[in-house]
Chains A and B, each alone.
Chain A
Amino acid sequence: MSTLLLKMNWLTPFIQIIKGDRPGDQLMLILKHAGVPLIGLLAFLFVWHIGAQNINTSLGTFPGPAQVYQQSLTLIEEHTAERQKEEAFYQRQDARNAKKLEKNPDATIKIRPYTGSPTFFDQILTSLITVMAGFILASVIAIPLGIMIGLNSTLYSAINPLIQLFKPVSPLAWLPLVTMVVSAVYTSDDPMFAKSFITSLLTVSLCSLWPTLINTAVGVSGISKDLQNVSQVLRLGWLTHVIKIVIPASIPAVFTGLRLSLGIAWMVLIAAEMLAQNPGLGKFVWDEFQNGSSDSLGRIMVAVLAIGFIGFLLDRLMLVIQRKVSWDKSSALR
């Protein structure tokens, strides 16, 4: 996304108009590339506004764009207020401890962490961390496994039925199993990670590893015969062949898989967080729903838009990486 925004091409029509160079054509260009999407967006907002007013729920009218905007401001205010409270707490604590030490340098001082509830933006961060952890775990499993089954057709025949069987399983079906296993296995007095984090992470991995696995296998097994012939004439050893020819040749396919997997991971995360109570966006939506105040629907809408926007950003990030790493310029990357 950064490359798309930083490419100053989109400024050119405006500059040309100022210069007086075919202003008519430039205006048409701007209208087409920026105007039309803008009109689409405004039309959507209008339909939403009208439609929302006509839907009456038990929690009040369905939030329209205006309410959603207001709630987003409220969420930002709450976040800054919470941060200020936290800072004030630590300042008071430091002042208290300093006074204690002044009176008696050997006194034991207590340093307690601030226990406020996570704000909306804290929850966004938690969600991002969880999805990244789950995605990375999935990739670490899927890519080597994909390479192995791509290289060996017997292994592929053995594992393919399992892939086809487990690929369509919804995260909500995995969750109870994962929760029970994590509760039983992850028992420690001072855990580094919360159980809800581990549960969400594992569920994300279980659901998002399939596209990477399948695409890697397809990429590896689909290496052109020509490249294999080159490798044979050069008498490359098996490991050299895999490292120097198989893996670079399949990188475009691997990245296609990674991009699909990340999209799925983000969707699965929200559902997993809701049920596992991991303090992220999923939990936010769930809590608001349980809360049932008149503002809830508006706040949930804000969360929906945030989820969509972050998903878009994640996809664009993968696209930028894929464009840099993939040597296959012929595959259209959009």
Chain B
Amino acid sequence: MIHLDISDVSIEFPTPSGPFKALDSVNLKIKEGEFISLIGHSGCGKSTVLNIVAGLYQATRGGVVLDGKEVFEPGPERAVVFQNHSLLPWLTVYQNVELAVKQVFKGKKSKAEMREWILHNLELVHMSHALDKRPDEISGGMKQRVGIARALSMEPTVLLMDEPFGALDALTRAHLQDSLMEIQNALNNTVIMITHDVDEAVLLSDRIVMMTNGPAATVGEILDIGLERPRNRIQLADDPEYNHYRHEVLSFLYEKHCKAA
């Protein structure tokens, strides 16, 4: 049985000037534990695909099946890490993760177990030193880490990340990418990540899904990344295989499906 089956997904949005077809027949089959990157030009519908998998949008044709069950609405088993961290500004770091844990594990974990689980997840993202800080007291990178911790604390079957590092500077991005690889190595969860960064996609993923330009965007090409894990960015910088993959993605984006400026 396919773990996550995105099957012939199309979506149309009603607009004053007629229906706007954002996606057309998107097909993607994902195995358990795979790390998938979705890459494409701005406006090609990557976030739309993610939102459909998350259940925040409904496809007008086709659907998403997770472990044999069709996806209709959002749920903690498909946890989302948003581009704008989306932390609740009036709660502390600890309380933000606590909100998710209390909601998902009510009745299943005891209070002490919940506390341990929250601390464990915050430790995974290296935020244990800032438990009592509010979002406006921590940096952008830290906020995003807490967002990731919150998503992980829901023990999701699939982790959905919408350009999680887009709003961060290059150095912070590098640190968080390493953290993500560490977590992926430890938990072996299925991840779909949207990104604009070609290097990030090649470094982190098992497969890169390259989307054509919108409207009516669909899957253009899928690239298998055969690099061995654990991956070290310094070592890979001179690796010919790494550069070949980069070349393929860049060629897709800037030669085959060049977006008019």
Contact = CB atoms under 8 A, between A and B. Distances in A.
Interface of A: 224, 226-227, 229-230, 232-236, 240, 244-245, 248-249, 251, 327-330
Given A230-B86, A233-B76, A235-B76, A244 B54 contact: no
B80 A233 contact: yes
Contact of B56 (A224, A229, A234, A330): A229
B112 to A, nearest CB: 22
A110 B226 CA distance: 102
A248 B78 CA distance: 26
Given A229-B56, A232-B56, A235-B74, 18 more contacts: A226-B82, A227-B86, A229-B80, A230-B86, A230-B88, A233-B56, A233-B80, A234-B99, A234-B104, A235-B73, A235-B75, A235-B76, A235-B103, A236-B103, A245-B88, A248-B88, A248-B90, A327-B136
Contacts of A236: 103
Shortest beta-carbon contacts, A-B, top 7: A327-B90, A226-B86, A232-B74, A233-B74, A234-B103, A248-B90, A230-B86
Contacts of A328: 89
A229 B82 contact: yes
A233 B54 contact: yes
Contact of B89 (A229, A233, A327): A327
A234 B154 CA distance: 9
Contacts of B78: 233
A251 B104 CA distance: 26
B79 A327 contact: no
B100 interface: yes
Interface in B139-173: 154
B159 to A, nearest CB: 12
A224 B103 CA distance: 21
Nearest to B96: A230
Nearest to B87: A230
B134 interface: yes
Nearest to B156: A233
A316 B90 CA distance: 23
Interface of B: 54-56, 73-76, 78-80, 82, 84, 86, 88-90, 99-100, 103-104, 134, 136, 154
B134 A327 contact: yes
Nearest to B160: A233
A227 B89 CA distance: 10
Contacts of B86: 224, 226-227, 229-230
A230 B82 CA distance: 9
A328 B80 CA distance: 25
Contact of B100 (A224, A234, A240, A327): A234
Contacts of A327: 89-90, 134, 136
Contacts of B99: 234, 244
Nearest to A230: B86
Contact of A329 (B55, B74, B136): B136
Contacts of A227: 86, 88
A35 B74 CA distance: 61
B174 to A, nearest CB: 25
Nearest to B78: A233
B88 A234 contact: no
Nearest to A244: B99
Contacts of B73: 232, 235
B88 A233 contact: no
A226 B167 CA distance: 15
A265 B165 CA distance: 49
Contacts of A230: 82, 86, 88
Nearest to B90: A327
Contacts of A248: 88, 90
Nearest to A232: B74
22 contacts: A226-B82, A226-B86, A227-B86, A229-B56, A229-B82, A232-B73, A232-B74, A233-B54, A233-B56, A233-B79, A234-B103, A234-B104, A234-B154, A235-B73, A235-B75, A236-B103, A245-B88, A248-B90, A251-B90, A327-B89, A327-B134, A330-B136
A230 B147 CA distance: 10
Nearest to B91: A248
Nearest to A235: B75
Contacts of A330: 136
A60 B84 CA distance: 68
A63 B5 CA distance: 86
Nearest to B86: A226
Nearest to B104: A234
B13 to A, nearest CB: 15
Contacts of A233: 54, 56, 74-76, 78-80
